[in-house]
Amino acid sequence: MARLTGTRPVAARRWGSAAAFLLLLFTVQAAQKADFSGDSTAATINHSLTLLQRLQELLQSGNGSDSVLRVRSAASDEPKVFHTHQLLLSLQSEVFESLLRNQSVVTLYEPPETAVLFEKFIRYLYCGGVSILLHQAIPMHQLASKYRVWGLQRGVAEYMRTHLASESSQGHVVGWYHYAVRVGDAALQESCLQFLAWNLSAVLGSAEWGSVSVELLLLLLERSDLVLHSELELYTAVEGWLSRRQPEAPVAERVLRAIRYPMIAPSQLFRLQAQSAALARHRGAVQDLLFQAFQFHAASPLHFAKYFDVNCSMFLPRNYLAPSWGSQWVITNPARDDRSTSFQTQLGPSSHDAGKRVTWNVLFSPRWLPVSLRPVYSDSVAGAIQPVRIEDGRPRLVITPAMSSPDFAGVSFQKTVLVGVRQQGRVLVKHAYSFHQSSDEAADFLAHADLQKRTSEYLIDNSLHLHIIIKPVYHSLIKVKK
């Protein structure tokens, strides 16, 4: 808590204009809630906007002020002085209610980043509204938390959750994540983490990648839902992070061991061994993983699974955007009619399967109806069918293999569908739907999307942007005794 100082207690308060305006506010609200008993001549006269304007003018003029806030900051020798009204501040903040109970002048000490926003903060206490920019979100949230203005605190947190995709020169999501961890905002923390995972390629090439903490980096590396071009892209970014941050050896080795080396082609692994400074420095810590990766690529997956446990994250692909893992599909006018497409993927990440392909058929239907909503014959009128509104249906996406093969033994396929949206001028991943081989479709695919509206947030220029990813998952067989 910042240091606070004040003057001697004030025996009597001058409520002045503040009390008058508040009395008017309460009178207007009571009139609006009155029971007019269905009288058709009843009407509500609402001058609340005028009242808010008068309250703002009251803050600016200081008329009827009964308290003074002096805000000091290390960035300035002169304090900022606000002539305020105790009643208005106390209604919004229990901290101000306590501070101003026995003193009329209070000195507040604020760091530069919150001091510069203090006028906005006070204006919110008078008018109930404030406009902020990306770089102002954290300091405004700090002010709201410090003075226990809970409505503003919740509002700023919601602003942060809904502006993760906004474009900024230095990036902001990583900083917001670290702040959410410090203040214990689990909802904001998870929102930031999910955004970073689903849009990692955009983050890897940005200025904020270097500000990622060790804890956040390790959390990201644990996830299988990272969306990026390839595991090699991730390794290159991690090596750059290690070069900039220069962590201690145990930390660097832990980070390097979180890379999924079997997902990198042998030719690329050879190049990394020859050219990577990070591998040269910490080769001993990852030598076993590199050797296992080469074994994985050299042997048949069925044979490899007899000797090694493949039911672990090291052998599970992430959401790779490279062509061998899936295909992008842009559906124009998705509310119009059914569509279909097909594409091929590599059977698995092992080089042993490099020449083997699986063909996939995809069906998209914009208005699939569950059984409960499908039309049925009515008994009241012979031959009549119950009307069904188009909007009762929901989009459906079905993905099935066009072939079966003995090569599929020991392999199942996880299907992931990414939905891209345009936010703040950028195309980013908004949703990721995953389902396994046992199901041909995601049960909740775009369940709440309104594709009938051209202004739908799920559409880009009236098109639905999907990226379908097929992730082969190996299963351990009966192991051979060594």
Lowest average pLDDT, out of 64-73, 365-374, 392-401, goes to 365-374
Domain annotation for the chain: domains and CATH numbers: 4-30+46-130 (3.30.710.10), 173-315 (1.25.40.420), 320-474 (2.60.210)
CB atoms within 10 A of CB 441: 19
For the segment 82-93, the average pLDDT, to the nearest whole number, is: 90
Q: What is the DSSP string of 346-358?
A: ES-SSGGGTT-EE
What tens digit of pLDDT does each residue of 230-269 get? 999 999 999 999 999 999 999 999 999 999 999 999 999 9
pTM of the model as a whole: 0.81
Q: How far apart are CA 449 and CA 441, in angstroms?
A: 17
Looking at residue 305, its pLDDT comes to 85
Q: How far apart are CA 152 and CA 123, in angstroms?
A: 12
What tens digit of pLDDT does each residue of 434-450 get? 887 667 777 788 888 88
Q: How far apart are CA 198 and CA 124, in angstroms?
A: 35
What tens digit of pLDDT does each residue of 304-359 get? 888 888 888 999 999 999 999 999 999 998 888 889 999 999 988 989 888 889 99
Please give the C-alpha separations between residue 120 and each of 144, 163, 378, in angstroms, as whole numbers: 11, 20, 63
Which residues fall within 8 angstroms of residue 285, CB to CB, at 6 or more apart?
A: 253, 256, 257
